[in-house]
Chain A
Amino acid sequence: MATALPPLRRATPLLLFLVVVAGALASPARADLVISRADRRVDLTSHIVRAVTSLKVENAGQDPVSQVLLAFPNIQAKNLAAIRAFRTEGKVKGPSTVLPVEVVQPSGAPPELMFFSALLPKPLEKGKTLHLEVLTVFTHSLQPFPEEITQAEAQLVVYQDSAHYLSPYPVKVQTLTIRLPGGRVESYTKHPKAKLVDSELRYGPFEDLPPFSYLPVIVHFENNNPFAVAKEVIREIEISHWGNVQITEHYNIAHGGARLKGEFSRIDYQSRPYVRGVSSFRHLIARLPPRAHSIYYRDEIGNISTSHLWSDSKKTQLEIEPRFPLFGGWQTTFTVGYGLPLQDFVFYSDGKRFLNITFGSPMEEILIEKLIVKVVLPEGSKDIEVSAPFPTKQWQEVKYSHLDIVGRPVVVLEKPDVIPEHNLYFQVYYKFNNISLLREPLMLITGFFLLFGACIVYMRTDMSISKSSPSYLAKLQWDEVQATVQKIQGIFEQCLAVHDKLEASLRDLSRTGDIQICKAARKAADAQFKELSKDLKPLLTSLQSSPQSYQIWPKVDDLITKEREMQEKLMTRHSTVVDCFEKKLRGQDVENRIVLQRQKIAALRQEVESLLEYISDI
């Protein structure tokens, strides 16, 4: 504790803790392993702290050892987001095997420490050595100090660690390298073996340290990288077997660094954004899978218009800018959604389908304090199983959407403190029959069919309640009148057709001069007229008797007289023309005789037609 740093108060528990650890040294809870070399590299460039520890472990005891214990003080362990151990062959690029890591509580271990054990695939024999790489990722380990800064100030953070590798085993040689993001280093714990070169701080090498050695060091440095912390992310993956996997991600993001104090001045921010506003961040980058489509970016009050999208065959890169730059302590919410082709993520094996997709958020360097992944399977899915690469809290829900009846099964996975390292593939297995796809279209078809059927039935059936009410009777009568009128109309149409025939016979006459045919036509027409008028009579009487026809009757009456007149005119004209032909008069004279008649007939015909039209309109 060489530096006179203000956060001493926070470091005090560490001192106490050291004392406790010293007491625990005597505990026998460790195997006879010796770490011959330990190199730690801590990366502090982002707000997520990643430490890689290379261990060379030697079995100095008698018995083979099948596990290696890794110890962390509780204050570090509570921020531990991920731990992974690999067994390597000593070379940096050599092949490596992942070792399972689990939490253990060795007997007699001090409660201030938390132990993880890396299980070896085969026990380490006596005298053998083993190369082990341990990746640990910590969140919330960079404490902003000061906690509140103004817009113009850079963000300073404090990182605490031990210069000595905290291990239940004796360590022969060890070093600690801390990579800083560059920029100002306010202070660091001075030590004879500490050295700051560019943006790398080295402690060590230390030699021959007993187990549980602890040397607290503190680094206070500038870190202006975006401290993007998502309080909660809900990621909904909806599978549609019509060919789409729709992903909707709801973010609630805050700047987790030093809080902004005082005013936010836009003019300062705009004129010198890298000086006045250096601690803020404007945009986030998401790497979406290739062939992502229909990407949208919005929040509860509408689209957010500031985003950019690039895509190539390997990835789709989305750069989104929240509505406002995020300063320390500011937060915002937004939703990103996109569609993915089904065949890239849903596969079929052994009679089961499975979804194979990454767990975490596609955003770069974002810490998610609580991630909820919901996988919405299509309606009718059965036998659902989940296989995730790390423990998560799981339960099932039902979601109703798009004309569902029984609802879609939803698998919900919840995990706290998710970091980009958790972006691993997980699988959801389920059984689904393709015939279920047709359920909704068929439902729509049936629905419309029923609707139209109901319409037809309604139009064709008599829905009146009281069969004796005056309005109902009036309606019946009216229907009758209409039917009668229609019949009358038909008769008149026939009359007109006969008229046409007569006219045609006249035309034939002028062409061929055959008087006999013409006369015959007249006779036939006469007969037809008589027949028609006979047909008309009962209809007319029934119409006249009906009380509903008071509106129509005068018109029909009018129509009959007009038609009679027309018939007569036509007949006289016909006979005149035939007479003329018999007398072999000149065409011109014939014309002169009938021209008046013709005009009258034409006028009558128009009247008749308009009357017919009028009646049909009723």
Chain B
Amino acid sequence: LKETSASPPPLLFLLSPHPPELCFSAAMPQTQSSTAASGGGGRLRDAFGGVLCAFTLLLIGLLAFSIRLFSVIKYESVIHEFDPYFNYRVTQFLSKNGVYEFWNWFDDRTWYPLGRVIGGTVYPGLTLTAGTIWWLLNSLNIPLSVETVCVFTAPIFSANASWATYLLTKEARGPGAGLMAAAILAMVPSYISRSVAGSYDNEAVAIFALIFTFYLYVKTLNTGSLFYAALNSLSYFYMVCSWGGYTFIINLIPMHVLLCIVTGRYSSRLYIAYAPLIVLGTLLAALVPVVGFNAVMTSEHFASFLVFIILHVVAMVYYIKGLLTPRLFKVAMTFVITVGLAVCFAVAAVLIALVASSPTKGWSGRSLSLLDPTYASKYIPIIASVSEHQPPTWPSYFMDINVLAFLSCFLPLSDASSFLVLYLVTSVYFSGVMVRLMLVLAPAACILSGIALSGAFSVLTRSMKFQRQTSENAGDGSSNALANSETASKEKPSKKNRKRDKDSEGSSPADHMTEEKLLVLPCGPAAVGIMLLIILSGFYVIHCVWAAAEAYSAPSIVLTSRSHDGLHVFDDFREAYGWMRHNTDVDDKVASWWDYGYQTTAMANRTVLVDNNTWNNTHIATVGTAMASPEKEAWEIFSSLDVKYVLVVFGGLIGYPSDDINKFLWMVRIGGGVFPHIKEADYLRDGNYCVDAHGTPTMLNSLMYKLCYYRFVETDGKGFDRVRRYEIGKKHFKLTHFEEVFTTHHWMVRVYKLKPQKNRVRGKLKLKPAGRSSSKANSMRKIGGKKNPWQ
């Protein structure tokens, strides 16, 4: 019931930007005529429009907030997925120990035995934001837990983001388009997927910061005010604090500046918009510990400095042009160009030499994999293995952006709108490379389709009005004067719409007249067009609500399935983490694949070897190697790392597809990338990955296989794996170096303990029969023993 009752309000909200305006225009003539004589009508109407606009924005914010609460209503108020657990843990630490402790936090409960300097390696924006909100609430004696604040941070910031979208679009086109874009962004599925209540991740805050930075940039560009330029660099600082995606801003804005210069649109406003941003922004960015000197050293920031120099050169040229006569100017130009080119070449040569000396050309792996989509799969399997780094499929575009993908808009080109177009084009490219960056595309698509939709609506409604007026003219021939005056009063409201397509520069009213006349459509098609647009928007709303309710609300630590006998809840992850939290020693080390690292530290409060911050490839490869090795070698690797428990995720009993067996090939690949004795081919039979009777002996003897399928055959007698849909290859086996200590109710998480080393019995080695294990396994063991990197 809760689901259906929640859906009508969004429907109302979406339509709200339009009907109020329509009502408004219908109501206006009376107001206008009654107060026309006094001349106060315009002011009253402005005030009314302002209040209406503010109210609509409030509703949009409410919509953005409430559409993200499906996860709380359907599941519970809980942190979702993997990374949010880390952020939650950091926020807990921050709220408990204060900000200075946070900067100096060395976390010894992860990456054992290396540890991790959290304060210096984390983007602190999100944590500081939530920590501040929590602190503020608690200082007002509103007792909300850190968890609650964290859960609701993302919805709050998506409301902020939709307001920022309004501001940005308003700056580019006008308030009508702004409202439309804000409403669309409030419920774009791609953004919802990252900002439902509980998905406490950097992106939730960063998208707001991104849009707001763009808004301030465009605002500065339009006004040329240094005040906004300063605000812009502060907003950029917030973005740098929040997300690694700030490099998108610091590349997109220079690109736009370059575009403006190339198209001859250089102005002092452009200079004010750009130069303070680079100077202040870079200084501020260098304050963030995780960025530090990267703000001037890495290639991601290079473009901004290059454009900074170019901008100054151009500014200088314009200045000189104003000073000198054209003839002198030509002479000066040739001189400057020859000298400048020489210096440029020298600098460029040095730079190229510097850059070329670094193997990745100064780019970080992640950025490089964006520029060259094949890079990661060739060199860094760890980046390629992350599911959100895969390229998206076409259905996912439809799923995440829906109709927006098919709407776009060609604007009269101004500085602001060219910026938006550039934003769209680059973000389309990036989203094509990584599914995760679909998120960056979403605001661009929303803004442009908001403009397009509001443009379409205004054209259609206007043409309907014009049409009515001409038909009246035709019908009423005798009293033309009356008709004319009516026309005049009727037309007034329609100009309200027209205002939207006006540029800030504005064109002369005569142009508008012709434009208007050109844009008039026959009444019938206009009505049909409006109907179609409304239906289209309706479908969009339905799709968004469906996506929010069904597709993106699952917290992924609790799974539910609907069967004929009601709702079934699979709460196995928390069962296992809860068990470990209370029934293992507080200093025990737990080994698992890196996916579960953050959750283990946050929920079970146990030390892990590797976690989702995949900063040390070798360490991850070690765990991968251990998982891929036979039992004894794995035991040696693990015990050399002080591991006491090994955790595996197994979906074979209930058909949970993203389990460790399905991720196993990545472990082999990553492990093999560092320790060459692990060969992917050993785990594949004729290029196919399988764990049934055709599975290779290496595969069936690997620790992962054994831990997952230990005593699995006893459940149904055959060992039928419901994920892989076949019977497993090796059914009856015993564990010699590990013992099962906990398995959850649906077997999704299995925890094993490393058995202590047996007392050595003298002479036993000799008695051991040579044929006990196959010769291959023996040789493997020898090799494995030598290859253990921790001995």
Say whether A and B bind each other.
yes
Q: Which residues of A contact B (CB under 8 A)?
A: 262-267, 271, 299, 301-306, 323-324, 329-333, 400-405, 486-487, 489-491, 493-494, 496-497, 500, 503, 506-507, 510, 587, 595, 598, 601-603, 605-607, 609-611, 613-614, 616-617
Q: Sort A-B residue pairs by CB-CB distance and give the 4 closest, nearest first.
A: A490-B39, A266-B743, A610-B509, A302-B78
Which residues of chain A are within 8 angstroms of B510 by Cβ–Cβ distance? 607
Please, how many angstroms separate the alpha-carbon atoms of A617 and B512 in the complex? 15
Please, how many angstroms separate the alpha-carbon atoms of A305 and B745 in the complex? 13
Nearest CB of chain B from residue A398's CB, rounded to whole Å: 12
Which residues of chain A are within 8 angstroms of B558 by Cβ–Cβ distance? 302, 305
Chain A interface: which of B109-117, B181-189, B568-576, B685-693? B568-576
A609 touches B488 (CB 8 A): yes
Which residues of chain A are within 8 angstroms of B714 by Cβ–Cβ distance? 267, 271
Which residues of chain A are within 8 angstroms of B753 by Cβ–Cβ distance? 263
B39 touches A493 (CB 8 A): yes
Partner of A606, one of B43, B491, B581, B583: B491
Please, how many angstroms separate the alpha-carbon atoms of A332 and B740 in the complex? 20
Q: Please name the residue on chain A nearest to B495 by beta carbon.
A: A613
Sample of 14 further A-B pairs with CB below 8 A, known A263-B740, A323-B579, A609-B492? A262-B739, A263-B741, A266-B744, A267-B743, A271-B714, A303-B76, A306-B571, A332-B578, A402-B142, A490-B39, A595-B480, A606-B488, A606-B513, A610-B509
A265 touches B42 (CB 8 A): no
Please, how many angstroms separate the alpha-carbon atoms of A497 and B574 in the complex? 75
Which residues of chain A are within 8 angstroms of B745 by Cβ–Cβ distance? 266, 324
B583 touches A330 (CB 8 A): yes
B485 touches A503 (CB 8 A): yes
Which residues of chain B are within 8 angstroms of A617 by Cβ–Cβ distance? 499
**Contact of A305 with B39 at beta-carbon distance under 8 Å, contacts A264-B741, A330-B583, A503-B481 already known:** no
**Contact of A602 with B747 at beta-carbon distance under 8 Å, contacts A301-B577, A331-B582, A616-B42 already known:** no
B495 touches A486 (CB 8 A): no
Please, how many angstroms separate the alpha-carbon atoms of A403 and B142 in the complex? 6
Nearest CB of chain A from residue B222's CB, rounded to whole Å: 14
Which residues of chain B are within 8 angstroms of A323 by Cβ–Cβ distance? 571, 574-575, 578-579
Please, how many angstroms separate the alpha-carbon atoms of A601 and B480 in the complex? 12
Which residues of chain B are within 8 angstroms of A607 by Cβ–Cβ distance? 509-510, 513
Nearest CB of chain A from residue B441's CB, rounded to whole Å: 33
A401 touches B485 (CB 8 A): no
**Contact of A610 with B743 at beta-carbon distance under 8 Å, contacts A302-B76, A403-B140 already known:** no
B603 touches A301 (CB 8 A): yes
Nearest CB of chain A from residue B501's CB, rounded to whole Å: 13
Residues 707-759 of B contacting A (Cβ, < 8 Å): 711, 714-715, 739-745, 747, 753
A266 touches B42 (CB 8 A): no
A332 touches B582 (CB 8 A): yes
Which residues of chain A are within 8 angstroms of B76 by Cβ–Cβ distance? 302-303
Q: Please name the residue on chain A nearest to B76 by beta carbon.
A: A303
CB of B141 within 8 A of chain A? Answer: yes
B575 touches A324 (CB 8 A): yes
Nearest CB of chain A from residue B213's CB, rounded to whole Å: 25
Which residues of chain B are within 8 angstroms of A400 by Cβ–Cβ distance? 141, 143
Partner of B743, one of A264, A493, A605, A611: A264
Most A Cβ at <10 Å: residue of B38, B143, B480, B499: B480
A/B interface sample: 11 pairs, CB < 8 A: A263-B753, A301-B578, A303-B76, A324-B579, A332-B578, A490-B40, A493-B37, A494-B37, A595-B480, A609-B495, A613-B495
A324 touches B485 (CB 8 A): no
Nearest CB of chain A from residue B497's CB, rounded to whole Å: 12
Most A Cβ at <10 Å: residue of B582, B711, B739, B745: B582
Q: Please name the residue on chain B nearest to A614 by beta carbon.
A: B509
- How many Cβ-Cβ contacts under 8 Å join chain A to chain B? 140
Partner of B487, one of A299, A302, A602: A602
Residues of B in contact (CB 8 Å), total 58
CB of B774 within 8 A of chain A? Answer: no
Residues 348-395 of B contacting A (Cβ, < 8 Å): none
Please, how many angstroms separate the alpha-carbon atoms of A266 and B750 in the complex? 9
**Contact of A401 with B141 at beta-carbon distance under 8 Å, contacts A323-B578, A324-B575, A500-B485 already known:** yes
Q: Which residues of B contact A (CB under 8 A)?
A: 36-43, 46, 76, 78, 140-143, 478-482, 484-485, 487-488, 491-492, 495, 499, 506, 509-510, 512-513, 557-558, 569, 571, 574-575, 577-579, 581-583, 603, 711, 714-715, 739-745, 747, 753
Q: Please name the residue on chain B nearest to A505 by beta carbon.
A: B481
Please, how many angstroms separate the alpha-carbon atoms of A602 and B486 in the complex? 11
Q: Please name the residue on chain B nearest to A499 by beta carbon.
A: B485
Please, how many angstroms separate the alpha-carbon atoms of A507 and B479 in the complex? 7
Please, how many angstroms separate the alpha-carbon atoms of A332 and B578 in the complex? 8
Most A Cβ at <10 Å: residue of B36, B42, B482: B42
A609 touches B491 (CB 8 A): yes
Which residues of chain A are within 8 angstroms of B578 by Cβ–Cβ distance? 299, 301, 323-324, 332
Nearest CB of chain A from residue B304's CB, rounded to whole Å: 29
**Contact of A497 with B36 at beta-carbon distance under 8 Å, contacts A271-B714, A323-B579, A610-B509 already known:** yes
B481 touches A489 (CB 8 A): no
Please, how many angstroms separate the alpha-carbon atoms of A197 and B97 in the complex? 63
Please, how many angstroms separate the alpha-carbon atoms of A400 and B743 in the complex? 42
B574 touches A507 (CB 8 A): no
Please, how many angstroms separate the alpha-carbon atoms of A333 and B579 in the complex? 10
Q: Please name the residue on chain A nearest to B483 by beta carbon.
A: A602
B583 touches A331 (CB 8 A): yes
Partner of A266, one of B478, B499, B747: B747
Please, how many angstroms separate the alpha-carbon atoms of A53 and B485 in the complex? 107
A263 touches B579 (CB 8 A): no
Which residues of chain A are within 8 angstroms of B491 by Cβ–Cβ distance? 606, 609
A267 touches B711 (CB 8 A): yes
Nearest CB of chain A from residue B741's CB, rounded to whole Å: 6
Which residues of chain A are within 8 angstroms of B509 by Cβ–Cβ distance? 607, 610-611, 614
Which residues of chain B are within 8 angstroms of A602 by Cβ–Cβ distance? 484, 487-488
Please, how many angstroms separate the alpha-carbon atoms of A333 and B581 in the complex? 10
Which residues of chain A are within 8 angstroms of B42 by Cβ–Cβ distance? 486, 489, 616
B488 touches A324 (CB 8 A): no
Which residues of chain B are within 8 angstroms of A265 by Cβ–Cβ distance? 711, 740, 743
Nearest CB of chain A from residue B157's CB, rounded to whole Å: 22
B39 touches A494 (CB 8 A): yes
Partner of B482, one of A404, A507, A587, A595: A507
Please, how many angstroms separate the alpha-carbon atoms of A490 and B40 in the complex? 7
Which residues of chain A are within 8 angstroms of B579 by Cβ–Cβ distance? 323-324, 330, 332
Most B Cβ at <10 Å: residue of A266, A331, A487, A611: A266
Which residues of chain B are within 8 angstroms of A601 by Cβ–Cβ distance? 484
Please, how many angstroms separate the alpha-carbon atoms of A490 and B42 in the complex? 9
Which residues of chain B are within 8 angstroms of A613 by Cβ–Cβ distance? 492, 495, 499
Nearest CB of chain A from residue B561's CB, rounded to whole Å: 13
Nearest CB of chain B from residue A390's CB, rounded to whole Å: 31
Which residues of chain B are within 8 angstroms of A404 by Cβ–Cβ distance? 141
Which residues of chain A are within 8 angstroms of B574 by Cβ–Cβ distance? 301-302, 323
Nearest CB of chain A from residue B217's CB, rounded to whole Å: 22
**Contact of A598 with B481 at beta-carbon distance under 8 Å, contacts A264-B740, A333-B582 already known:** yes
Nearest CB of chain B from residue A447's CB, rounded to whole Å: 9
A305 touches B484 (CB 8 A): no
Q: Please name the residue on chain A nearest to B555 by beta carbon.
A: A302
**Contact of A267 with B39 at beta-carbon distance under 8 Å, contacts A301-B578, A324-B579, A401-B143 already known:** no
Most B Cβ at <10 Å: residue of A271, A486, A490: A490
Please, how many angstroms separate the alpha-carbon atoms of A265 and B711 in the complex? 9
Q: Please name the residue on chain A nearest to B568 by beta carbon.
A: A305
Which residues of chain B are within 8 angstroms of A302 by Cβ–Cβ distance? 76, 78, 557-558, 574
Partner of B481, one of A303, A506, A603: A506
Nearest CB of chain A from residue B611's CB, rounded to whole Å: 17
Partner of A305, one of B37, B571, B744: B571
Partner of A605, one of B141, B484, B506: B484
A486 touches B481 (CB 8 A): no
Most B Cβ at <10 Å: residue of A267, A400, A607: A267
